[in-house]
Amino acid sequence: MKSLLTLLILVSSQLLFAQTNDTITTKSGLKYFITQKGNGKAIDSGSIAIQHYTVWLSNGKKLDSSRDRNQPFAAEYPSKDIIKGTNEALSILKIGDRGIFIMPYYLAYGEKGRSVVPPKETLTFDIELLDSKANSLSKELEKTLYQNYKQDSVLKLKQTIKKFYQLKKSKFKDLWMDENELNTMGYGLLGRKHAAEAAAIFKLNTKEYPKSFNVYDSLGEAYMDLGENKLAILNYKKSLALNPKNENATKMLEKLNQN
């Protein structure tokens, strides 16, 4: 019986993997081995892949982990919004599977790197494919919000909120829903200079996730853009009460109180 054991050992500040004969190298150069076999099926192209992940730099430093946040990550598969190596990993995994994926720099963040990722950096991912959904809430709502937007430049905000409650009534059947879905929509609106509409979406999110510091932080930002400083202060204070370590809220409150 082949061994599927993997040892993660920090030696001289480097993360070393004891690879076994179970390690596979694909044509792209991605190396992987499966650590857990599930009973699910492969995910369809265009669906939303729901996953847990942890990623390390080549020196063994943990870069990020959805498991540490206890918040699964969801993304369309395949997508330009996720790195090539992750797209390939998701093509290999079936629902319930978990594996270690070693991604050369050209499957990760390339020659230049990104933020805290150094140039030409090999990344190691621990990915577990939890589930898949046919679509995400944000994509579904944006069909209504931006309907004919290129032609008439009119946002369908009332229709979108109505659609939200219709979907909620059906318990968001086959849609991925978390607090980031409405937040993504809100920041998309802010980017298009629609602060009032963004505030409405963020406010909706506070009703759905009243214990999340992040949603109040986002609503505060929209009110700042609108010049509604009292409302911005109120929401930043709510955010800070939920998470006293929210440095952005502290910074924004200092700025607002100076005005």
Q: What is the pLDDT of residues 135-177, one digit of tens each?
A: 999 999 999 999 999 999 999 999 999 999 999 999 999 999 9
Note down the domain range covering 12: 8-133
- Which one of 92, 111, 133 terminates a domain? 133
C-alpha distances (whole Å) from 111 to each of 29, 56, 104, 117, 130 are: 16, 17, 10, 10, 31
Is residue 122 located within the same domain as residue 217?
A: no
Q: What is the pLDDT of residues 73-131, one digit of tens each?
A: 999 999 998 999 999 999 999 999 999 999 999 999 999 999 999 999 999 999 999 99
Q: Does an H or E element contain 31, and which? A: strand 31-36
Residue 1: which pLDDT band, with cuts at 50, 70 and 90?
very low
pLDDT above 90 (res 5): no
Is 123 domain-assigned? yes
- Which one of 107, 133, 159 terminates a domain? 133
Residue 13: which pLDDT band, with cuts at 50, 70 and 90?
very low
Is 3 domain-assigned? no
- In the chain, how many domains are there? 2
Residue 204: which pLDDT band, with cuts at 50, 70 and 90?
very high
- What is the reported pLDDT for 3? 35
Per-residue pLDDT averaged across 189-214, rounded?
Answer: 98
Is residue 70 located within the same domain as residue 115?
A: yes
Residue 10: which pLDDT band, with cuts at 50, 70 and 90?
very low
pLDDT above 90 (res 57): yes
- Which one of 93, 113, 133 terminates a domain? 133
Residue 259: which pLDDT band, with cuts at 50, 70 and 90?
confident
CATH value at residue 213 = 1.25.40.10
What is the chain's alpha carbon radius of gyration, rounded to the nearest angstrom? 21
The whole-angstrom separation of Cα 201 and Cα 183 is: 8
Is residue 70 located within the same domain as residue 186?
A: no
- The DSSP string of 124-135 is EEEEEEEEEESE
Q: Has this prediction a pTM greater than 0.85?
A: no
Is 62 domain-assigned? yes
Rounded mean pLDDT of the chain?
A: 92
